[in-house]
Amino acid sequence: MERDRAVSYYIKVAETLKARIRDGQYQPNDLIPSAKKLEEEFKVSNITIRKALDLLTRDGYVMPMRGVGTRVTKTGDDLVSIEVTGTFRDWVDSAMGRDLRLTVHVLETSITSCPKRVSKILSLEPDESIWRMKRVRKLRGVPMSYFINYGRSEVFSDKITKEEVEKRSFVDLFQDRCQIRLSKMVQRVEATVADIDLSEVLAINFGDPLFFVENIYYSTDGQPVEVTHMYYRGDKYVYDVTIQLNE
């Protein structure tokens, strides 16, 4: 209840209207109820409704039309479905959103201090530096997910370029450029929310829901060689799992 009171009411209104659009209550090209009707329904001020509609407009769900009203411009059809069941290639293709043609934008590549968890996974010394790459995937200019890749500096440094990563799968590049064959990936998924840094990178609000995914890649000799931390927008991604049941 405390957290519920802390969320601005215009965000609650915006998320409710988004859900109605995704559920098909408001179809593409439909006019949503007028600001006056929304004020009456949600029992809030005009400024609250205006802020909610501004948020929906920014996210591309609606478009205000002078003298006409506010029209729905999209549904939830652009959700990226990540396929958990299947081969590694199936997972890569779905996570990359190849059907939707997501674009990759590298934000930074550096040699920097290593987070404690990553250091432990890769068996690094406490003061040992690490290679790190930050990148964002976008759909028609809208940030969808944020990736941070970590690897030993002596393995990755100068091996993988920004230009290549923006055109090819990172895992494929890693194996080709670093000459390390991968045998398996261990994945962990958690629910989290956007902090100030993540909200800026993903162009969302502080506290918006995210999937946090950690991938640990192992070489054929069983050693962890690369760690990827991924933050997927909760309003843009879904996880699909198929489970075979034996009779």
pLDDT higher than 60, residue 5: no
CB 74 within 8 A of CB 64: no
CB 47 within 8 A of CB 13: no
Check residue 115 and give its pLDDT: 87
Classified by CATH at the fold level, domain 8-72 comes out as Arc Repressor Mutant, subunit A (1.10.10)
Beta bridge partners of 47: none
Strand ranges (E), 12-141:
62-65, 69-72, 80-83, 103-113, 129-139
Check residue 121 and give its pLDDT: 94
Check residue 9 and give its pLDDT: 86
d(CA 140, CA 116): 35
Check residue 232 and give its pLDDT: 93
Check residue 203 and give its pLDDT: 92
Q: Region 168-195: what's the mean pLDDT?
A: 89
| Tens-digit pLDDT profile for residues 51-103 | 999 989 988 889 999 888 999 987 655 566 555 555 655 555 555 555 667 89
**What are 167's two structure tokens?**
């055109």
pTM of the model: 0.69
| Tens-digit pLDDT profile for residues 200-236 | 999 988 888 899 999 999 999 999 999 999 999 988 8
Domain with CATH 3.40.1410.10 in the chain: 80-240
Beta bridge partners of 210: 192, 233
Reported as half-sphere exposure (CB side, CA atoms, 13 A), residue 93 has a value of 8
Beta bridge partners of 217: 185, 226
Residue for token digits 């997927």? 232
Classified by CATH at the fold level, domain 80-240 comes out as Chorismate lyase (3.40.1410)
Q: What is the mean pLDDT of the chain?
A: 85
Check residue 88 and give its pLDDT: 56
